[in-house]
A = this chain, B = another copy of it.
Amino acid sequence: MLYPSLVTIVGALVNGNVNFLNIAHVGILNAAAPHLISLGMNKTHHTNIGIREHKTFSVNILSQDQMAAMDYVGLVSGGKTDKSAVFETYFGELKTAPLIVNCPLSMECRLYDTYELKTHDVFIGEIVATYADEVVLTDGKVDLAKVKPLLFDMSSLKYWTLGQAVGSCWNAGKQYKKKE
């Protein structure tokens, strides 16, 4: 019940074809170099084959306006349906991790490790490059109010939007201390 979690579109090259799927069981492992993130992906997913083969993948954060396409790539398997045209794509530094054109925020990842579970491959990726669309920046920083990411919740099986910024981290608690 660690929800909501961020909806990401994971891209990989599978048997020479660009493929994408919707993964919200993601995680941030650290806040230091190498910057590592995790994707908990059921072993039945077609995309896993490409990640194992090329040891690269992309993680794309799309806007809530693209919910239909985001959900669609989670509805159909790349093993049966060619999803390569759902998004316009390009390749970056790693050459084998398909990135989405005009995506608010994309990361290219090198497979750092695979944490194997019985049912899931937990792919641990090192972020080697991050691409932000200029339109989501404010003063040179990614502005989530402009990204408008989608969030996932297993309890309601709904997608949720992000609300408002309501306080400053490592600051809002100073108010608590004063109350003591």
Contacts and interface: CB of A to CB of B under 8 A. Distances in A.
Interface of A: 1-6, 8, 24-32, 36-38, 40, 42, 59, 61, 64, 67-76, 86, 105, 107, 115, 117-120, 122, 127, 130, 132, 141-144, 149-177, 179
Lowest 4 A-B CB distances belong to which pairs? A27-B27, A72-B173, A71-B173, A161-B163
A65 B48 CA distance: 40
A60 to B, nearest CB: 11
A86 B180 CA distance: 10
Contact of A2 (B8, B119, B141): B8
Contacts of A168: 157-159
Given A120-B30, A120-B32, A171-B71, A163 B165 contact: no
Contacts of A132: 1
Contacts of A153: 144, 165
Contacts of A151: 4, 151, 162
Contacts of A3: 6, 144
A156 to B, nearest CB: 6
A5 B6 CA distance: 7
Contact of A36 (B76, B117, B152): B117
Contacts of A32: 42, 117-120
